[in-house]
Amino acid sequence: MNEHASAGGAATFAPPAAAASISVQGLSKRYGDIEAVRGIDFEVAPGEVFGFLGPNGAGKSTTISMLCTLVKPTAGTATVAGFDVTRERDAVRRNIGLVFQDTTLDTYLTAEQNMRLHAELYGVPRQAIAPRMRQVLEMVGLWERRSSAVATYSGGMKRRLEIARGLMHSPRVLFLDEPTVGLDPQTRSSIWSYIRELKSAEDITIFLTTHYMDEAEYCDRIAIMDKGVIVVLDTPAALKASVGRDRVTLQTDDDAAAIAEIAERFDLSAQVSEGAVTFGVSDGALFVPRLFAELTVAIRSVSVSRPSLDDVFMSYTGTTIRDAEATALDRNRATVAAFRRRG
């Protein structure tokens, strides 16, 4: 389907040098007939911000649930902070912080009461609770609002409070499952500035999932997941370099004819995605004049873009992330993913 498919599909990814913070071998999860995660391998180094990128239904949430000991793997092993996720469940739980997609705060309580409750459940030494709470609440800018009931918080404030709460017991790994989903763009970027600040302030590994391409750029490394497998894993820069091509997007009067002509005259494989004909070329600016000269189908508009992570996703999976999601129904994500795989 494209030049990366063979390289990406069965590639083994070189482990980081230091003792891994997260180490995963052959991890799989099957729900009845449906394989939500189909044998994945990867390692995350201490201090890394590691992103799992993929459409809804790709298996990201199932993977994160297995790493957080919430779901038992059907095959394979995983260690987090040096502990096995199935055999040393409580040790893993003491060493990880969790921020879920949906809020898990008690909105009747104040921020401070939520934090204290968490500290008590995680056995934070009593004398350490007050200073630590202040430190993490200040980090997310909620110290002044600590005595307000969480019910009065905005969506962004709740998410920040959840991040602070996840850090309360000084976890070695922080898991963020879609930390910015459902937030407005401004709040999203503020959440990211807290995450970046956190990385410099704490000795912590951050594992997050997202389906926003622009957010994946904040990660040190990204694994692109699609249909239960890791398609490719590398730094954002390396991934973009691997695509190495400009993306040309055309609006035409007849997309099918345009695709046929492009294949015939330039030997390029174009696709329709999001209502436009799109293909990659090594130098888009030089190519556009040739396109106009040789194509007989009327062109209504043309744009050329430098490679983005969207293109990376497109290049490795043959679809844009939005199209991939459009095919997946919100409910029964795994089911839909399985049916698509069966073809």
Partner 1 sequence: MAATTTTAAAAAQLPPPAAVHVPPGSIRGDLRAVKIVWQREMIRFTKDRLRILTSLVQPILFLFVLGSGLSHLASHGTHGVDLRTFVYPGVLCMAVLFTAMFSAASLVWDREFGFLREMMVAPVRRSALVLGKCLGGATVATFQGVIVIALAGLVGVPYAPSLIIAVFALLLTLAFAITAFGVMVAARINQIQSFMAITQMVMMPMYFLSGAIFPVTGLPSWLTVLNRLDPLTYAVDPMRRIVFNHLHISAAARRALDPGLTWWGWRVPSLVEVAVVAAIGLVCLAVGVVEFSGRE
Using CB under 8 A, pick the residue from 78, 81, 124, 219 that binds partner 1.
124
Question: Considering beta carbons, is residue 78 or 168 the nearer one to partner 1?
Answer: 168
Of 104, 99, 88, give the one whose Cα is nearest residue 173: 99
Q: Decide: 26 and 76 in contact? Cβ < 8 Å.
A: yes
Question: Does residue 203 bind partner 1 (CB under 8 A)?
Answer: yes
Distances (CA, A) of 73 to 25, 45, 225, 333: 11, 22, 17, 18
Query: How many Cβ atoms sit within 10 Å of the Cβ of residue 220?
Result: 17
Kindly state whether residue 170 participates in binding partner 1, applying the rule CB under 8 A.
Answer: yes
Question: Which residue of 5, 18, 19, 121 would you call a contact of partner 1, by CB under 8 A?
Answer: 121
Cβ neighbour number for residue 272 with a 10 Å cutoff: 15
Q: Tell me: does residue 202 bind partner 1 (CB under 8 A).
A: yes
In angstroms, the CA 121 to CA 76 distance is 30
Say whether residue 331 binds partner 1 (CB under 8 A): no
- Structural tokens at position 139: 């980090």
* Residue 145: φ, ψ to 5°: -100, 15
Q: Which of 120, 197, 254, 274 binds partner 1 (CB under 8 A)?
A: 120
Determine, following the binding rule CB under 8 A, whether residue 158 of this chain makes contact with partner 1: no
CA dihedral 325, 329, 333, 336 (to 10 degrees): -100
Please give the helix or strand (H or E) that residue 180 lies within, else none. none
Q: At its nearest, how many Å lie between partner 1 and the CB of residue 145?
A: 14
> Residue 184 CB: number of other CB atoms within 10 A?
12
User: Which span sits near partner 1 by CB under 8 A: 127-135, 186-194, 229-237, 273-281?
Assistant: 127-135
| Stretch of 43-51, 200-208, 243-251, 298-306 lying at the interface with partner 1 (CB under 8 A) | 200-208
The residue within the footprint of partner 1, chosen from 108, 235, 238, 253 (CB under 8 A), is: 108
Single out the segment in contact with partner 1 by CB under 8 A; choices: 16-24, 116-124, 215-223, 301-309.
116-124
Under the binding rule (CB under 8 A), the answer on residue 91 touching partner 1 is yes
Choice between 77 and 170, CB closer to partner 1: 170
From the CB of residue 337, how many other CB atoms can be counted at a distance below 10 Å?
26
* Of 30, 94, 245, 322, the one binding partner 1 by CB under 8 A: 94
CA distance 307 to 278: 12
- Least distance from partner 1 to the Cβ atom of residue 163, Å: 14
CA atoms of 101 and 340, how far apart (whole Å): 25
Residues that bind partner 1 (CB under 8 A): 68-71, 90-91, 93-95, 98, 100, 102-109, 113, 116-118, 120-125, 128, 130-132, 134-135, 168-170, 201-203
